Structure 1
């Protein structure tokens, strides 16, 4: 008995979710097809029924991770006023917290992969570059700036802070990195609350 298109789409979605989590947790090069398929409840042999190659899986998994991040940021920014926050505050606090540091598999792909992107293939770099631009644009909107470049410094601060907080072996230092980076980002916020 064959699989229906709906079952195949559901299986593919599970593979993408697992692969996107795995590349954010362990890096692009660490993604193993067999483990990814097993984590999705599928056999290694089923892989080519969904993807043409490991590189194709990586690109789609990264696209999935970026799409998740974009949706999450849009929701966070649009709901800020209901929570008594400015859009920048909501975005910055969503990024610059211990939960994000300790859970890269469900966090921002850019924060997880920026350090290794320079070694990645051009398609991966292109996707991350596009995401940098989109995130900078969203942050520029949050600080009411007409220039996307206004958000680039904030993106760099956030990504750098998460990267450093994940890289140090001192929890107190990691917390300081997050809190000082949050304060630095918030110094750019001139939006009224709510």
Structure 2
């Protein structure tokens, strides 16, 4: 008995969600096709019915992660006025919080993979480069600034802060990194 197109699309979505989460939690190189398929409730043999290669899965999973981040940011910016926040504050707080530090699998792919991306294949680097540009543009707009450099500086501050907060083994220091970075961003 075959699967309907809807069932196949649902299965593919589960694989992308699992791969996206696994890549953000453990890194690109740690993604195993068999484990990813199993965690999506599928067999390893079903993989090639959905993707042409592991690299294709990685790229689509990262596209999915970036899309999730973009939607989350847009939602927060849209509702920022209701919470009494500026759009910039809303974006900064989406990133610079303890929940984001503790849950890389549900967070920003750029924050999770910045250190590793320099070793990634050109397609992954191109995707992340595009996301840096989009995010910097979005932040420049949220800050009501004409300076592209301001947006890039804020992106660098956010990514660096999350990377450092995840790297240290001192919760108090991690919290200080986040709050100091948030204060710095809000001075922009």
TM-score interval (norm. to shorter): over 0.9
Which structure 2 residues correspond to residues 1-194 of structure 1 after superposition, within 5 A?
A: 1-188=1-188
Secondary structure, counterpart of 2:169 in structure 1: coil
TM-score after normalising by structure 2: 0.99
Pairs aligned (count):
188
Deviation of 1:94 (Å):
1.1
TM-score after normalising by structure 1: 0.96
Does the 8 Å contact 1:133/1:148 carry over to 2? no
CA-based RMSD of the aligned residues comes to 0.6
C-alpha distance in structure 1 between counterparts of 2:110 and 2:149, whole Å: 17
> What stretches of structure 1 of length at least 5 have no aligned partner?
189-194
Secondary structure, counterpart of 1:124 in structure 2: helix
Secondary structure, counterpart of 1:41 in structure 2: coil
C-alpha distance in structure 2 between counterparts of 1:161 and 1:181, whole Å: 6
List structure 1 runs of 4+ shifted beyond 3 angstroms: none
> What stretches of structure 2 of length at least 5 have no aligned partner?
none
C-alpha distance in structure 1 between counterparts of 2:69 and 2:149, whole Å: 20
Deviations 1:82-114 (A, max 9, x none): 110000111111100100000000000000000
C-alpha distance in structure 2 between counterparts of 1:148 and 1:62, whole Å: 25
